[in-house]
Chain A
């Protein structure tokens, strides 16, 4: 009955372009996040400033993609799978922009850290490193799932978020211990808390993207759903 293409070739092209653009924006944010983490761990002021500058591009992408989405709704009055893709993209744009903001926060912390590290004993936690890697992995996975509209892969990403949340709690406990033992570490420890919190939020946004992927692929809204409900939504054809 159909070969999967619209009667309107133009519409097909627009949808294809929308998909390409959101993945491109995802790639930008992923790179921004990687650089932010590196700038914090070294710390590297120049790299941190690049991350902060790059946020402007991400913001521009957000505005531009939103414009495309509104245009498509007006011109095409999308339905069914097309509607879900367009809505899913609109939601994902917001998540990506916020991940960009969190990456910028990490980069700012990197700059402070660089300024302070000669004078103050700074807590360096391996857990921050590993939770940053986990959040970055979640983001990549969510974007992969979006590219392939793979609901099962998206469900696995949602599952990973719990680990990132737990790591954040563990980091918090450690930093509190540091601060109690030596008040001189309070200021740098608080900086580390902001970084850990930013990472934890990035995990949340990646999880949200994965939820949007399930909406696009299956038409099920799994926000606030239990793991069992998510599993059911993903398994239905």
Chain B
């Protein structure tokens, strides 16, 4: 900040220009039947940056995240308006003609509760690779190792790759899910409260992992833990009742939020 009083905004603009876009959310609304759950949201997701979504329960942050891999398509009556354009090709991932499976090849998701498949550690990661048609054993094995290493799990499981994934600890299972997502070489990785079921040490290792992953992938994370958003994100979006109240650099949001509602929420004055 500083001389920053006036120059700060310029700096932010310059930084934003220097970064490339990974995705652009353009006037997105979402309806569960007749209920409008997201209201005309527009924001930019920057490449190789972590963007955090915060807000009270029911504000729409998970709904927002799920639009990115079209999970909502599974239920009838759900409806999107607006667009989410995935860069660099500006593919509108909400467009009817776009196959959700193609979208999910480019955008991975890690859920709140670790959700390994009921099979071995190796097969959990290899599954997506086979689905994509990668067949040679050696190639699959190499990619599995690479993904497990990227998820900081390799050293802990390399001697028991064919043990059941369900035998791993919660934190390890969550990293396995991250490895599974990474195996598909996603461009964007979605995390839906990835540490809410984990203890502080496992949480710290996942957060560390997220910070490391952004070198190769753009990240969108929903979290209830504001300190977590402050620790590991570059940008923060505050959602309230389906609306985007404020979006900005994480430092700005947590030190000098512009909107009263944001200030009230992050300082615990809500209610």
Q: In this complex, which of A1, A78, A84, A222 has the most chain B Cβ atoms within 10 angstroms of its Cβ?
A: A1
* Cross-interface CB contact of B257 among A77, A80, A220, A232, cutoff 8 Å: A80
Tell me if A79 is interfacial: C-beta within 8 Å of chain B: yes
B254 at the interface (CB under 8 A from A): yes
Residue from B2, B226, B269 within 8 A of A4 (CB atoms): B269
Give the residue among B3, B8, B227 with the most A Cβ atoms within 10 A. B3
Contact B5 A82 (CB under 8 A): no
Give the interface centre of A11, A77, A80, A229 by most chain B CB atoms within 10 Å. A80
Mask of A220-237 contacts with B, CB within 8 angstroms, 1/0: 111111101110110000
Residues of B within 8 A of A82 (CB): 267
Interface size class of A (residues with CB under 8 A): 20 to 34
A11 with B261: CB separation less than 8 A? no
Is B77 part of the binding interface, using a Cβ–Cβ cutoff of 8 Å? Answer: no
Give, as a whole number of angstroms, the nearest-CB distance from A215 to chain B: 8
Are B255 and A6 closer than 8 Å at their CB atoms?
A: no
Cβ of A219 < 8 Å from any Cβ of B? yes
Cβ of B261: which chain A residues have Cβ within 8 Å of it? 1
B contact residues around A233 at 8 Å (CB)? 5-6
A80 in contact with B256 given A221-B4, A223-B2, A225-B2 (CB within 8 Å) = yes
B interface SS class: helix
**Nearest CB of B to A129, in Å:** 35
A225→B270 contact, CB < 8 A: no
Q: Does A163 contact B (CB under 8 A)?
A: no
Interface residue B213 (Cβ < 8 Å from any Cβ of A): no
- Report the minimum CB–CB distance from B198 to chain A (whole Å): 19
The 9 closest A-B pairs by CB, nearest first: A219-B256, A233-B5, A221-B1, A220-B5, A2-B264, A2-B269, A79-B266, A221-B2, A232-B6
Given contacts A7-B271, A84-B256, 4 further A-B contacts (CB under 8 A): A2-B270, A8-B268, A219-B1, A226-B3
- 25 chain-A/chain-B pairs, Cβ below 8 angstroms: A2-B270, A3-B269, A7-B269, A7-B271, A78-B267, A79-B266, A80-B256, A80-B257, A80-B263, A80-B266, A80-B267, A81-B263, A82-B267, A84-B256, A218-B256, A219-B256, A221-B2, A221-B4, A222-B2, A223-B2, A224-B2, A229-B3, A229-B6, A233-B5, A233-B6
A→B interface (CB under 8 Å): 1-8, 11, 77-84, 218-226, 228-230, 232-233
